């Protein structure tokens, strides 16, 4: 019996090493992505600018985040934009681009998503340059320098 059991456990042992490597590489990947976001400022259509004072927050956060065509913001590992604020839901809200405009949508977050002080309902709302977005303890300004279409 021992032979087969130790074989199976050995497989598990090796698989754990691979899972570990996968987890590390994934983290590194997110790291690099975050770094690239930081570096290539100004090239994207739109970005979120933090208006909290960073020293008021007890976690690390960047001054600005570029927005790609579809971003899910939240605390969870699967979010495209991960923010470590514990007042955020795992999947908090989504900002996406459609017909040249950006829209924001709440993803049933516990503490809600606020646009210029008003809590978002079930429907997505179009974002305009200068809108203030509040999620958890974080406040951002939505910046879209080039304007919409036209």
Partner 1 sequence: MSYARSMKPLFYIILLNAVGAALISISGGARSPEALVLTGAICVVSIICYTVVSFAGFGDPYLFLIISMLGSVGGIMQLRIRTAYGVRQLKWFLLGTACYFLAMLIFLAMRKILPRLTPLYVGVSVALYAATLVFGRTSHGSRNWIVIGGDNGLSIQPSELIRIFFVLTLAAIFTAQPDKNSKKKKKADGDKPFGLRPNAARLLSASAVTAVNLGFLLLQREWGIALLFFATYFFFIYVYGASRGYLLLNAAAAVGVGAVSLKYMGHIQTRVEAWLNPFADASGKGYQITQSLFAIGEGGFVGRGIGEGSVYFIPEVHSDFIFSAICEEMGILGGFAIVMLYFVLTYRGFKIALACTNRFNKAVAFGLSLMLGLQSFIIIGGVTKMIPLTGITLPFISYGGSSMLTTFAAYGILQAISALKEETTDEL
Partner 2 sequence: MNSNKKIVVTLVFMCALFFSVFIYLTYFQLFKADDLVSSNYNRRLWEKEESVLRGSILDRGGLVLAESEVENGSQKRVYPYGSLYAHVIGYNTRSYGKTNLELSFNDYLLKTESLTEIIQYGMDMGTENGELKRGCDLITTIDHDLMRTAASAMNGRNGAVVAIVPSTGEVVCLYSGPSFDPNEDELVKNWADLSEDENSPFLPRATKGLYAPGSTFKIAVAAAALENGYDDFTVDDEGSVKIDGRVFRNAGGSEYGEIGLREGFKHSSNVFFSRLGVELGAETLKKAAEDFMITKKIPFDIETSASAWSYGSDMGKTELASVGIGQGKLLTTPLNMAVVAAAVANDGIMMKPYLVQSVVSPNGVSVYEAEPEAFGRVAPAVVTDALGDYMLACVESGTGVNARIRGIDVAGKTGTAQNEREGRDHAWFVGFAPKDDPQIAVAVFQEYSGSSGGAACAPIARKIMQQWLEG
Answer yes or no whether residue 30 interacts with partner 1 by CB under 8 A. Answer: yes
Contact partners, residue 99, CB within 8 Å, separation at least 6: none
Number of other CB atoms surrounding residue 23 within 10 Å: 11
Query: Does 17 interact with partner 2 (rule: CB under 8 A)?
Result: no
58-87 mask for partner 1 (x: CB under 8 A)? -xxxx------------x-x----xxx---
Contact mark string toward partner 1, 107..136, x via CB under 8 A: ------------------------------
Contact 50, 133 (CB under 8 A): no
Q: What are phi and psi of 105, to 5 degrees?
A: -145, 135
Q: How far is CA 10 from the centre of its chain?
A: 37
Give every CB contact of residue 54 below 8 A, 6+ residues apart in sequence: 61, 63
Stretch of residues binding partner 2 (CB under 8 A), selected from 1-9, 23-31, 55-63, 142-150: 1-9
What is the full DSSP assignment across 27-67?
HHHHHHHHHHHHHTTT-SSEEEEE-S-GGGSSS---SEEEE
Least Å from the CB of residue 13 to partner 1: 5
Minimum CB separation from partner 2 for residue 2, in Å? 9
Closer of 21 and 98 to partner 1 (Cβ):
21
Task: Tell me the closest approach of the beta carbon of residue 113 to partner 2, in angstroms.
Answer: 41
**CA dihedral sign, ordered 49, 54, 56, 58:** positive
Contact status: 51 vs partner 1 (CB under 8 A)? no
Q: Is 31 in the site for partner 1 (CB under 8 A)?
A: yes
Residue numbers of the site for partner 2 (CB under 8 A)?
1, 3-4
């Amino acid at each position: 019996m021992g032979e087969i059991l130790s074989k199976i456990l050995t497989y598990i042992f090796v698989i754990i090493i691979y899972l570990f490597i996968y987890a590390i590489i994934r983290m590194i990947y997110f790291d690099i992505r975050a770094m690239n976001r930081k570096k290539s400022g100004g090239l994207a259509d739109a970005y979120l600018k933090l208006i909290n004072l960073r020293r008021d927050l007890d976690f690390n956060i960047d001054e600005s985040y570029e927005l790609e065509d579809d971003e899910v913001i939240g605390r969870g590992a699967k979010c495209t934009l991960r923010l470590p604020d514990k007042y955020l839901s795992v999947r908090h809200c989504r900002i996406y681009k459609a017909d040249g405009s950006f829209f924001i949508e709440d993803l049933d977050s516990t503490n809600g998503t606020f646009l210029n002080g008003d809590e978002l309902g079930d429907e997505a709302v179009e974002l305009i340059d200068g809108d203030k977005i509040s999620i958890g303890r974080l406040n951002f300004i939505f910046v879209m320098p080039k304007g919409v279409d036209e």
